[in-house]
Amino acid sequence: MTKGNGEDPKTGSRMERIQQGVRKRTLLAKKKVQSITKDDVKSYLLRNAFVLFTVVAVILGVILGFSLRSYKMSYREVKYFSFPGELLMRMLQMLVLPLIVSSLVTGIAALDSKASGKMGVRAVIYYMSTTIIAVLIGIIIVVIIHPGKGTKENMHREGKIVQVTAADAFLDLIRNMFPPNLVEACFKQFKTNYEKRMFKVDIPSNDTSTVASIISNVSEAMETLTRMKEEIVPVAGSVNGVNALGLVVFSISFGLVIGSMKEQGQALKDFFDSLNEAIMRLVALIMWYAPLGILFLIAGKIVEMEDMGVIGGQLAMYTVTVIIGLLIHAVIVLPLLYFVITRKNPWVFIGGLIQALVTALGTSSSSATLPVTFKCLEEINGVDKRVTRFVLPVGATINMDGTALYEALAAIFIAQVNNFDLNFGQIITISITATAASIGAAGIPQAGLVTMVIVLTSVGLPTDDITLIIAVDWFLDRLRTTTNVLGDSIGAGIVEHLSRHELKNKDAEMGNSVIEENEMKKPYQLISQENESEKPLDSETKM
């Protein structure tokens, strides 16, 4: 290439280098493909059998669900059909309680108070940052797309909403952090109920008028002196479900105390460590049943859902808006955050989480998915057990990125269908209450609908209009749960990276006494600290 031909030699040489690079990579790829043997394919399929079975189960569940809709099954028949899926939910929920307690106690006890304090601060900063980002994404997307254009008169309503005040909901959150009975906390949560009561209101009397009225009519005088007033008052109540927040607070406190007891607390450390190991072995057994359970969970939900005709233009646009918001957060924001902080490929990390994400999609519960998330992070992604044991149970309880995004977006959508113009102050109020309400949302299916009442009340929107979005909530709930699980898992990876120096120092001091176990005897593979020590220390700035 010459200048006489009107071409820049630098451009030409650059193009040649690019072409040579492409040719080299093509040849390498061709050689790799040609060198693949049957044994390689078999070993790959065996390594990823669980993930492949789970993905296939989701696809078959969708096909089976839509195929059976034409048979118009009764409610009883749908319940019988969904039974295998219900069994999976029950199995996973059975393990959640001992897993949260044992993992948090061992995770905190394995670190000194300084290291666990730093790790806790990093985790909380991550949780708050990602939740605020999710809320902002939800607000921006719903304002730009404006799915609530029009009127709500023709929209389909479904279900009933339980009223709750923001102050009582906040106080309930604090009350649940300190359960008076640990046994009761395993199956009940405190919740403020409301009931009507009659109160006697004394009317201040006027001497002259009272004397005159008594003379004329005694009964009329009594009516003016006392009147009855009806008032709705908060009373103590409870709802069924594990009080995860109370158990998390107790387990963290208990773990800190055991860690400070040194040799005296070793017996308790060993007990909870063994309990955690036993639970993870049970998880490994349940994983064989998980694909079948997920298949029937998804198929049963599709068969059960209402006629798709009720989803009008506004509700369809609302659904699309929520999906776009969740995709931006899950596919762009979280991987970018992971890459910026760790300088590692986020898609390799996310690839190891496929089974947990699919389980979250099927079960619609971040708490029920917790055992699978542990397994994926520790076995496939090799995250330090001391980090996962601390970060995951706390994250599954308070870190709800998908729920926060959905609540902010849904509140503004309801304002739009009511032709209610929100000012900047009200949008800020929605963002703050959505962040706070997502922390209080339990890791159970459709818990976000309950906390939505708080968000709507904060800006004076009608809470009854939540019934407008219930028709599609079962589907969106699965997507936001998947986003929640992804956020928790990426958080564990980021916190491990930022805490790597403390973890290595602790290993040097303690001689790996906490994680040192006989790997040859245990099918559930623990993290190899030897491999960890071989990794070169990065020079990134510590948080």
Of the candidate ranges 71-75, 247-251, 271-275, 327-331, the one whose mean pLDDT is the lowest: 71-75
> Partners of 196 in the beta sheet?
232
Quick check: 498 pLDDT over 90?
Answer: yes
pLDDT for residue 219:
59
pLDDT bin (cut points 50, 70, 90) of residue 536 is very low
Binned at pLDDT 50, 70 and 90, residue 344 comes out as: very high
CB contact set of 16 (below 8 Å; sequence gap of 6+)? none
- Would you call 465 helix, strand, or coil by DSSP? helix
What's the angle, vertex CA 64, arms to CA 157 and CA 294, rounded to 5?
80
539-to-107, 349, 533, 536 alpha-carbon distances in Å = 26, 21, 15, 9
pLDDT tens per residue across span 150-182 = 666 555 555 555 566 767 777 888 888 899 999
Structure tokens at 137: 């994404």
Q: What is the pLDDT of residue 50?
A: 78
pLDDT at 521: 42
Model confidence at 206: pLDDT above 80:
no
State the average pLDDT for the chain: 80
The answer, yes or no, to whether residue 122 has pLDDT greater than 80, is: yes
Q: What is the pLDDT of residue 191?
A: 82
Average pLDDT over residues 370-374: 92
What mean pLDDT do residues 49-71 have? 88
Q: Which three-class secondary structure state does DSSP give residue 365? A: coil
The residue-averaged pLDDT of 454-465 equals: 82
Two structure tokens written together for 383: 């995250």
User: pTM of the predicted model, to two decimals?
Assistant: 0.76
Whether the per-residue pLDDT at 11 is higher than 70: the answer is: no
In terms of DSSP H, where are the helices of 399-520?
Answer: 401-417, 424-440, 447-458, 470-498, 500-510
Under the banding of pLDDT at 50, 70 and 90, the label for residue 80 is very high
Domains of the chain, each with CATH number or no CATH? 46-187+241-511 (1.10.3860.10), 188-205+214-240 (no CATH)
Compute CA distances 158 → 306, 463, 464, 466, 472, whole Å.
Answer: 10, 13, 10, 9, 10
- What's the CA gap between 529 and 526, in Å, rounded? 9
User: Binning pLDDT at 50, 70 and 90, where does residue 405 land?
Assistant: very high
**Model confidence band, residue 514 (pLDDT cutoffs 50, 70, 90):** very low
CA atoms within 13 A on the CB side of 21: 6
How far is Cα 136 from Cα 526, in angstroms, rounded to an integer?
39
Q: Compute the distance between CA of residue 53 and CA of residue 221 in angstroms, rounded to an integer.
A: 81
- Above 80 in pLDDT, residue 384? yes
State the sign of the Cα–Cα–Cα–Cα dihedral 283, 187, 297, 468: negative
